[in-house]
Amino acid sequence: MEVRLADNLKTVLFLIVLLSPGSSENDLYFNFCGTWRHGNGPLRLEVELTPGCSGLSFTANESVLSVRGQLTAECNTDKVIELHEFGLDPAKDVDFCVYWEPLLDQFKMEVGGRNLTLCYPAVPLESCCTDLSDGPNAAAGTFGIVNAMIREDVITSETRTAFRFRADATGCKSLCDQADQDYLRSLQSSSGPSGPPSPGLPCGHRSTMEMEDGFGGYNISSLARAGSGSGSGSAVRVFVPPALRSSSNSSKVVFTFFNGNPLFQDGLQNLQNRQLLQDVVDITVENQVVTNLSEPVKIGFHHDAIPDQNRRTCVSWDVHRDPLQVRWLADGCATLARGDAHTECLCDHLTYFAVLVDLEPRPVRHLLALTCISSAGCAVSFVSCVALLVFLARKRRRPADKSLPVHVGVAASLALLSLLFFLTGVIANAGREAACAWAAPLLHYALLSAFAWMGVEVFHAFWLMYEVFSPPPRAYVWNLAGFVLPVLPVGVLVAVGDVYGLRELEQEGTRDPYLMCWMKVNPKARLAHYLTNLTLLAVLVLSGSVLLVLMYRKIRTRAEWRQNRVTALSMWGLILLFGTSWGLAFLDFGPLSDFVLFLFCFLNSFQGFFLMLRFCLLDWMRRRSDRSSSSTSNTGQPMLPSQEKS
């Protein structure tokens, strides 16, 4: 009884403060949070929002959480979201929060730790729906909403099946004037005990333009804002090309300029050390999606000075691929740095646009030189591996050659890896994110396949030396290990998602990044890199190094090993064949880092060429030995036991 009385007193006090006539200011935002107590069955979220200003209601039962309201200026949404897709535990209560900003006509929710954007940012023209007050609510129940809060103030600890809030309409201009005054006050008190000012003006600004016959393009500018770095000029300038008239069915174009809206930062949660500039512009044609413009839209962002080493990227919000999530992509936009305080974006579609800045750039040293070496080496290695495959195909006439299928697998996997790595820059620049969605997994598969075949070579050499198994594994076993098994980790990572894509490497001394298709820069991709690439590479290098030592100790007493050139060629061939040269990747630190990096790049990009050279030299030595002696020594393959002759 005392608990219920205390809850009622809290509610009364909250309403008195909220409805007090002494307060002339309106609410600039509204948020409602609570915990949903539900059953153990499937859960879903139902959202229905329509234009108007009557209020907002929340209802919850055993399996459904409903949010319905008439409070938006333009947004009209009706969605049913199955919450099992969020990975929620049906046995645990679900925390949720609702955020409503009338000045931006923006409505979003946080459910189970996941942010959902239900109404995109816009600018109401006349009436804004605000001042939501606690209305008549349903009685307590077993299932419902518990610990309901408004602006972090608990209004009741009971479990209620419904909460309803009444709303009032207010002129948007007066509400925006109030927001501007709050912002100016925060600027004036920024050096005081209240802390830094708010990031920007909370209300956006919208302009509309009609495209008439003979439309020749249109320029528009936003208002300059304090702290934008643009002085008395414009913060954002936009030019829409004449091609927009022929690409759209409507003649009405809407420009909306935002500044400091924290919603836009939501899509950067997985991008470490990167941040959007405060200015965001939305360009739309009514009731139409505009893409693939023949002439780009030009958006010029004037901002505070950004050093050259902090790379800038023009990005756009993809509101169609995943409408509930904020996803910033570089697809369809080119970035031109017009100086430290000016960035121009050239984009072939219409949506929200902004500039993404790397806060802690880490440019790759000597990237241009390393890229040239890698490209030349991969091109030569691909041709060499193809020639080596032809060379090995002629040796199929020798049925006693047990190593031939393994050598063929190594050559084929290296050929695929060299070709894909040589083309990755071309694919990334031509197709960008869309092409990298398939090219990056394919390149990862080729790398794992090459490592797997080198591991097979190590195991096969061990078997030849010690004859552990009899008879030896058949060729299909090697093909299964080298070509099929690498499909499994790549397939799992593709199913997990957000691992493969466009990778940008910052070049030292230039603003233009090097593009390639590979794993992204996020915690999920980094974990995948450690579990697949580095783990397999560590096993390969360790096993290959151990076998090199064992093999040297076993066959060092042979007569042909007393020749220095044969010894050197044998060890060099085994290092390449077993992939131990890739172990230089673990030595990239300290004062010799640059030297190790260039050596790693040179040896492994030209690995296919060196392998072809090895086989050709060994074949030449075998032929020479056969001509000079009638003995059947194993000089033809001095670096492997006598059972293997390739």
What value does the mean pLDDT of the chain take? 78
Output the domain CATH number for residue 550: 1.20.1070.10
Q: Do 550 and 484 fall into the same domain?
A: yes
Q: Do 540 and 562 fall into the same domain?
A: yes
> 407-419, pLDDT tens digit by residue?
888 899 999 999 9
Q: Is residue 276 part of a domain?
A: yes
Longest dimension (CA), the chain: 113
Q: Do 384 and 335 fall into the same domain?
A: no
Which residues form the domain of 546?
Answer: 367-626
Asked if pLDDT for residue 500 goes beyond 70, the answer is: yes
| Residues contacting 443, CB < 8 A, separation 6+ | 417, 420, 421, 424, 517, 518
The model's confidence at residue 99, banded by pLDDT at 50, 70 and 90, is very high
> 547-569, pLDDT tens digit by residue?
777 777 766 666 555 554 555 55
Whole-number pLDDT of residue 313: 86
Q: Do 44 and 171 fall into the same domain?
A: yes
Decide if 285 contacts 243 (C-beta within 8 A).
no
Strands (E), 479-617: 500-505, 514-519
Asked if pLDDT for residue 523 goes beyond 80, the answer is: no
The answer to which of 361-365, 428-432, 641-645 has the lowest mean pLDDT is 641-645
Asked if pLDDT for residue 397 goes beyond 80, the answer is: no
Whole-number pLDDT of residue 456: 86
Q: Do 17 and 151 fall into the same domain?
A: yes
Q: Do 141 and 268 fall into the same domain?
A: no
DSSP state of 506: P
Whole-number pLDDT of residue 615: 81
- What is the pLDDT averaged over residues 239-258? 83
Q: Is residue 633 part of a domain?
A: no
Q: Is residue 635 part of a domain?
A: no
Q: Please count the structural domains in the chain.
A: 3
Asked if pLDDT for residue 645 goes beyond 60, the answer is: no
Q: Do 64 and 109 fall into the same domain?
A: yes
CA angle 512, 518, 520 (to 5 degrees): 80
Q: Do 350 and 402 fall into the same domain?
A: no
Asked if pLDDT for residue 439 goes beyond 60, the answer is: yes
* Cα distance between residue 485 and residue 496, in whole Å: 18
Output the domain CATH number for residue 212: 2.60.220.50
Whole-number pLDDT of residue 396: 65
Separation of CA 528 from chain center: 13
> 358-378, pLDDT tens digit by residue?
776 555 667 778 888 888 989
Q: Which of 65-69, 245-249, 283-287, 327-331 has the highest mean pLDDT?
A: 65-69
Q: Do 114 and 132 fall into the same domain?
A: yes
Q: Is residue 634 part of a domain?
A: no
Q: What is the value of pTM for the model shown?
A: 0.55
Element (H, E) at 423: helix 404-466
Whole-number pLDDT of residue 207: 86
DSSP state of 328: E
The model's confidence at residue 268, banded by pLDDT at 50, 70 and 90, is low
Q: Do 385 and 497 fall into the same domain?
A: yes
Asked if pLDDT for residue 27 goes beyond 80, the answer is: yes
**Cis peptide preceding 296, ω within 30 of 0:** no
Q: Do 134 and 251 fall into the same domain?
A: no
Asked if pLDDT for residue 144 goes beyond 50, the answer is: yes
Q: Do 21 and 61 fall into the same domain?
A: yes
Asked if pLDDT for residue 49 goes beyond 80, the answer is: yes
Comparing 443 with 403, the larger pLDDT belongs to 443
